[in-house]
């Protein structure tokens, strides 16, 4: 049986968290990552909660987190983040009109054993007039990531209970909008984020850093 993991819930307020966690549990997730200023999270029956961090640009977070993702503002910043030891994943946001993942960036991500992340809530909030261009850019970037062996993790990026969806629905969105093969979309919501939470990703990154 698949263990589904949503590595990124972004509650708009602390009061939203309990209902978001309950929705995620009912949707079929075994674990969720919660973006929170505190690494101390409450316990909920039937689902694991882990502290995660999302930062804008090169600002390194303080505290201990199971997963740290960074949102670049331009290609130069993306290249710098791809070399950063503390970054687990580079977020590819939408909407936008510029490339954030090119061959040099993907090569560095591969060397650092880092991932790329797509928040599916981004795609659902893109204005219709910008959706086609945003999808074109993301598909191009995903082809570059595949070429260089950079794993993809899909997250909901949910900010309220209504944004929380079943993992199968999220996989279907990724497959239909981004052209991701079904088995790859499912793995990006199960096997790959589970690897992150197991600590395997951090261990492999340490091995790379010792060799560097």
Q: Which residues contact 169 (CB under 8 A, 6 or more apart)?
A: none
CB 35, CB 9: distance < 8 Å: yes
Structure tokens at 65: 């987190």
What CA–CA distances, in Å, run from 113 to 42, 149, 165, 188, 207?
Answer: 30, 9, 28, 15, 10
Whole-angstrom distance, CA of residue 182 vs CA of residue 203: 28
145 phi and psi angles, rounded to 5 deg: -60, -45
Q: Which residues contact 204 (CB under 8 A, 6 or more apart)?
A: 113
> For the chain, how many structural domains are there in total?
1
| Tens of pLDDT, residues 74-100 | 999 999 999 999 999 999 999 999 999
| Tens of pLDDT, residues 107-122 | 999 999 999 999 999 9
Whole-angstrom distance, CA of residue 140 vs CA of residue 127: 20
Q: DSSP secondary-structure letter at 61?
A: P
Tell me the residue range of the domain where 28 lies.
Answer: 4-211
> pLDDT-based confidence at 152, cuts 50/70/90?
very high
DSSP H/E element including 182? helix 182-187
Among 7, 112, 14, 2, CA closest to 66: 7
| Tens of pLDDT, residues 36-57 | 876 678 888 899 999 999 999 9
111 phi and psi angles, rounded to 5 deg: -65, -35
Q: Check residue 62 and give its pLDDT.
A: 82
- CATH number of the domain bearing residue 123: 3.20.20.140
């Amino acid at each position: 049986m698949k263990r589904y993991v949503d590595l990124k819930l972004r509650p708009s307020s602390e009061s939203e968290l309990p209902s978001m966690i309950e929705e995620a549990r009912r949707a079929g997730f075994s674990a969720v990552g919660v973006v929170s200023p505190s690494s101390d999270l409450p316990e909920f029956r039937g689902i694991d909660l882990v502290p995660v961090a999302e930062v804008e640009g090169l600002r390194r977070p303080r505290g201990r987190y199971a997963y740290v993702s960074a949102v670049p503002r331009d290609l130069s910043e993306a290249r710098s983040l791809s070399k950063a030891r503390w970054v687990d994943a580079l977020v590819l946001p939408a909407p936008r009109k510029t490339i954030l993942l090119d061959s040099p960036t993907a090569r560095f991500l591969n060397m650092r054993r880092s991932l790329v992340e797509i928040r599916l809530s981004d795609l659902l909030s893109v204005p219709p007039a910008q959706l086609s261009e945003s999808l074109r850019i993301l598909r191009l970037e995903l082809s570059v990531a595949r070429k260089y062996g950079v794993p993809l993790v899909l997250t909901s990026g949910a900010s309220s209970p209504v944004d929380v969806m079943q993992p199968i629905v999220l996989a279907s969105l990724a497959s239909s909008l981004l052209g991701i093969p079904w088995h790859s979309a499912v793995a990006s919501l199960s096997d790959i984020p589970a690897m992150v939470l197991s600590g395997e990703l951090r261990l492999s990154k340490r091995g790379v850093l010792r060799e560097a």
